[in-house]
Amino acid sequence: MPESKITVEKLNLWFGENHVLKDVSFSIPPNAVTAIMGPSGCGKSTLLRTVNRMNDLILGTRVTGDIRIDGQSIFADTTDVIDLRKRVGMVFQKPNPFPKSILENVAFGPRIHRMGNHADIQQRVEQALRHANLWDEVKDRLHDNAFSLSGGQQQRLCTARCLSVEPEIVLLDEPASALDPHSTARLEELIRQLKQDYTVVIVTHNMQQAARVSDWCAFLMLGELVEFGRTENIFTKPKDRRTEDFLTGKFG
């Protein structure tokens, strides 16, 4: 087992009567890309959204077990969910920029967390946009509406917005599912860069994508963790029959 940034331990999650995650345990290493893959409805997005407690917003959610970040439980009374979400950023399935300018989109996070004065925030915006490989494309049109960007650019803008508050962990929930192949390639390049500074967790149902971008890979099925390991091991010599069937296209 690698050094651990995020430790998932015997995690169970219910939406009402629906048992979505069953006894999931594994460790996500720092400064690496970990992919969570599996067929539709296996609970991979739910697992991801538990890490920054986005599922809190859904009525009737019940959790047992634990998730720890740097050894600190995210469900502990002492954990402030605002602080948690600042440390754990998220990029969503469909690009969801705010109906504001490009600048305002990225400045929103630093502003609400009061991360410095006007000049500091401008600086942060530039830095985040550079980090997300978007700066050169938008530097002359920062005041344009974010919706004027292409889908791929919007997704990188959302990534920049997420990076703007200096998270430690970046969660990506099928970030390329609404993008064309070219935009997907650019986003994947970005994801591989991100691991230098962040712990990256990506959910995908696309196994080629998982193979391309990830160092570690978790395979989830019907809410159960089937297998977790180095991506190259999972893809070349899967231990579990179900993983092999998924990878060879028997289902999914």
Partner 1 sequence: MRLRKVADRAVRGVFLANAILSAVVLLGILAFLLFYGVRTFSGTPLLKFLFGTVWNPDAYGEPSYGLLPLLLGSFASTAIALLIAIPLGIASAVFISERLKGWVRVTVKTLVELFAGFPSVVIGFFGLVVLAPLIARIFNVPSGLNLLNAGLLLGLMSLPTIISVADDALRVVPHSYREAAYALGATPWTTATRIVLPAARSGILAAVMLGFGRAVGETMAVLMVAGNAALMPKSLFDPIRTITSTIAIELGESAFGDTHFYSLFALGFVLFLLALATNLIAESLIKREKRSFTL
Q: Measured from the CB atom, is 56 or 70 closer to partner 1?
A: 56
Question: Can you give the binding site for partner 1, defined by CB under 8 A?
Answer: 52, 54, 57, 59, 82-86, 89-90, 92, 94, 96-100, 108-109, 112-113, 144-145, 147-148, 158, 161-162, 165
> What is the smallest separation between the CB atom of 167 and partner 1, expressed in angstroms?
9
CA angle 200, 80, 123 (to 5 degrees): 55
Neighbours of 226 (CB within 10 A): 19
Tokens found for residue 109: 């996070």
Q: Measured from the CB atom, is 81 or 232 closer to partner 1?
A: 81
Q: Across-strand partners of 15?
A: 18, 61
> What is the smallest separation between the CB atom of 238 and partner 1, expressed in angstroms?
33
Q: Contact 151/209 with Cβ under 8 angstroms?
A: no
Can you give the C-alpha Rg of the chain in angstroms? 18
Q: Measured from the CB atom, is 46 or 231 closer to partner 1?
A: 46
> What is the smallest separation between the CB atom of 78 and partner 1, expressed in angstroms?
17
Handedness of CA 190, 196, 201, 204 (dihedral sign): positive
Q: Measured from the CB atom, is 36 or 90 closer to partner 1?
A: 90
Tokens found for residue 16: 């009402």
Query: Closest Cα to residue 149, out of 96, 207, 203?
Result: 96
**Element housing 5 (H / E):** none
> What is the smallest separation between the CB atom of 122 and partner 1, expressed in angstroms?
18
Q: Measured from the CB atom, is 158 or 191 closer to partner 1?
A: 158
Tokens found for residue 248: 């060879």
> What is the smallest separation between the CB atom of 56 and partner 1, expressed in angstroms?
9
